[in-house]
Amino acid sequence: MARMRQKMKKLRYWSPSTFIVVFIHINILVTRAEGFDSVIQLPRSGLRRTRTRSKWVLSVGDYGAKGDGLHNDTEAFMEAWKMACSLPGFINVVFPYGKTFLVHPVDIGGPCRSKITLRISGTIVAPQDPVMWYGLNQRKWLYFHGVNHLTVDGGGRINGMGQEWWARSCKINSTNALTFHRCKDLKVRNIILLNSQQMHVSFTNCMRVVASHLKVLAPASSPNTDGIHISATKGVEVRDTVIRTGDDCISIVRNSSRVWVRNISCGPGHGISLGKSKTWEKVQNVIVDGAYLYNTDNGVRIKTWQGGSGLASKITFQNILMENVSNPILINQYYCDSRQPCQNEPREHLASGIDRQTSAVKVENISFIDIQGTTATEEAIKFACSDGSPCEGLYLENIFLAPCFGGNTSSLCWQAHGSARGFLHPPACFSSTNDFIRQNVRLESNPAIHSV
Ligand SMILES: *[C@@H]1O[C@H](CO)[C@@H](O)[C@H](O)[C@H]1NC(C)=O
Ligand SMILES: *[C@@H]1O[C@H](CO)[C@@H](O)[C@H](O)[C@H]1NC(C)=O
Ligand SMILES: *[C@@H]1O[C@H](CO)[C@@H](O)[C@H](O)[C@H]1NC(C)=O
Ligand SMILES: *[C@@H]1O[C@H](CO)[C@@H](O)[C@H](O)[C@H]1NC(C)=O
Ligand SMILES: *[C@@H]1O[C@H](CO)[C@@H](O)[C@H](O)[C@H]1NC(C)=O
Ligand SMILES: *[C@@H]1O[C@H](CO)[C@@H](O)[C@H](O)[C@H]1NC(C)=O
Ligand SMILES: *[C@@H]1O[C@H](CO)[C@@H](O)[C@H](O)[C@H]1NC(C)=O
């Protein structure tokens, strides 16, 4: 058993009206984590009905972090985390304000006894040189897995120092800055994320996630720097967030459902994007309600690979304002970003009659409601669906997309079936069905608290 002498600070909240801060400065000789129980005071019985909780505060500084931006503070973070993870109750792990902590790739695993808040008030920076990942998994920098009830906040910054990675992006697989894998009941809020090597925040196989009040910033020219990436995750709320990057502001892929996106400002970047994985894909019950997209390469899009399989359904995009957006409304079942040519786009099929791959992700029941603004491309609405698996149940209502620089806007439909209502400019181009299928994706109460 490790013997540790630690300075502990303890905050105590008795009730909302009486806020008492007990600042205990003690040296404790610990042999067992349970040893801490004796210093956590139980609430007085008279206060039982008020919400009472105590919080430990562990600063990485007390575990040897220098915070000068040069010293390797990884070990200090890991030690502070290890301690926090082993204690009962609510624990804050603090990166103090005004300091810069150099953290090398870390693998932070749960489960923990405690509910941890990682309070980043200062700045965490990555090593600049990708060589530091030599022998390590190149896809991970700050990697949290299997941690439940984690909150990340604090108003500070996480800087991926991605410039060196971007310069070599064709030659190496880049790392994602902040990855949460198999985490449940996760909150990430009030953080600035800068210049990630690749994706800024990635949620994979998580459940009940709230990401809010984030600012995600990277140059428009930085490759693959998605803002928020959601993969195989159920119950996600993303809100009140500004994203300006070189790739998708928000991307939602694989087995993801009950995703609620609201009050998002996006651009530059590639817009809000659903689907992309090359094999099996299922994205369902998604609502994007309230977004401002500015100077983006795409607006709201669903992209799937030919030859893929699965389903994208029950998806609503509404209350969206676009400004100078290329491809504002786009469904593309012919998505291709590989260096080899993929199968042709539908228009070319018309001319050449080239064989098409027939398997595709089924795209069904997608609504676009109250979307307006300006488009940088003439084709403001494009539904390029596959022959083998046409799009069904598309719905357009109150769309007004005017060209940025005069001229006219148009829509393109290929194997797209649906219905429309209200004012539409450009007009819908469906081979129409007359039954209206307006998606009522309702995730009104916080989806993050819904059970799955
Ligand atoms: C930084 O510290 C971590 C944790 O001790 C260690 O694994 C890593 O090798 C260190 N990196 C360098 C470049 O010193
Ligand atoms: C990138 O990762 C993929 C698998 O994820 C691997 O097949 C490929 O070899 C890697 N490329 C480089 C340059 O490391
Ligand atoms: C929308 O998000 C921004 C931060 O990006 C915030 O300042 C603003 O208050 C939010 N609006 C609403 C209505 O919550
Ligand atoms: C998709 O998610 C569901 C529900 O969480 C799960 O039962 C299923 O196994 C997942 N499918 C794949 C292919 O991961
Ligand atoms: C429109 O967006 C493009 C990027 O997609 C940008 O290069 C261009 O400067 C923008 N135009 C205006 C008028 O903002
Ligand atoms: C699409 O909507 C129709 C009508 O509400 C429904 O019958 C069908 O099951 C839905 N499809 C999917 C894949 O959700
Ligand atoms: C604009 O395009 C629509 C079809 O997309 C057409 O009906 C309309 O006449 C065009 N307007 C002008 C001014 O060219």
Per-block mean pLDDT, blocks of 10 residues, the chain (452 long): 38 33 29 28 28 73 97 98 95 97 97 97 96 92 98 98 90 87 98 96 98 97 95 97 96 95 96 82 94 96 84 95 97 71 50 50 94 96 90 95 91 92 93 62 50 37
Whole-angstrom distance, CA of residue 357 vs CA of residue 55: 58
CA quadruple 22, 23, 28, 34: dihedral, nearest 10: 40
Ligand nearest to the CA of 132: 1
Per-residue pLDDT at 83: 96
Per-residue pLDDT at 280: 79
> pTM for the full model?
0.85
Q: Which two tokens stand for residue 312?
A: 């994208």
Q: Which two tokens stand for residue 51?
A: 């919400």
Q: 365 C-alpha to center of ligand 6: Å? A: 6
Q: Answer yes or no: are the C-beta atoms of 106 and 143 closer than 8 Å.
A: yes
Alpha-carbon torsion (169, 172, 176, 180), positive or negative? positive
What residues act catalytically?
247, 270
Q: 408 C-alpha to center of ligand 7: Å? A: 6
Q: Is 255 in the pocket of ligand 4 (CB under 6 A)?
A: yes
Ligand nearest to the CA of 139: 2
Q: Is 31 in the pocket of ligand 7 (CB under 6 A)?
A: no
Q: 378 C-alpha to center of ligand 3: Å? A: 31
Q: Is 235 in the pocket of ligand 7 (CB under 6 A)?
A: no
Ligand 3 pocket residues where CB is under 6 Å: 240-242, 263, 265
Per-residue pLDDT at 308: 78
Whole-angstrom distance, CA of residue 250 vs CA of residue 159: 19
Q: 262 C-alpha to center of ligand 3: Å? A: 9
Q: In the chain, what are the domains?
A: 54-247 (2.160.20.10), 249-336+359-432 (2.160.20.10)
Per-residue pLDDT at 234: 96
Q: Hey, whose CA ends up nearest to atom 6 of ligand 5?
A: 295
Q: DSSP character for 344?
A: P
Which ligand 3 atom sits nearest the alpha carbon of residue 241?
Answer: 5
Per-residue pLDDT at 46: 24
Ligand 4 probe mutation, 184, 205, 233, 255, most atoms within 8 A of CB? 255
Per-residue pLDDT at 386: 86
Q: 177 C-alpha to center of ligand 1: Å? A: 17
- Whether residue 88 is preceded by a cis peptide bond, meaning omega within 30 degrees of 0, is no
Q: Hey, whose CA ends up nearest to atom 13 of ligand 5?
A: 324
382 pairs with which residues across the strands?
A: 330, 412
Ligand 1 pocket residues where CB is under 6 Å: 72, 74-75, 104, 132
Per-residue pLDDT at 171: 72
Per-residue pLDDT at 44: 31
Ligand nearest to the CA of 407: 7
CB atoms within 10 A of CB 351: 8
Q: Which two tokens stand for residue 212?
A: 């809010």
Q: Hey, whose CA ends up nearest to atom 13 of ligand 3?
A: 263
Q: 339 C-alpha to center of ligand 2: Å? A: 15
Alpha-carbon torsion (238, 297, 196, 216), positive or negative? negative
Ligand nearest to the CA of 70: 1
Strand 4-13 and strand 26-30: pairing?
antiparallel
Whole-angstrom distance, CA of residue 37 vs CA of residue 42: 9
**Backbone torsions φ then ψ of 147, nearest 5 degrees:** -100, 125
Q: Answer yes or no: are the C-beta atoms of 282 and 254 closer than 8 Å.
A: yes
Per-residue pLDDT at 431: 65
Q: Hey, whose CA ends up nearest to atom 1 of ligand 3?
A: 240
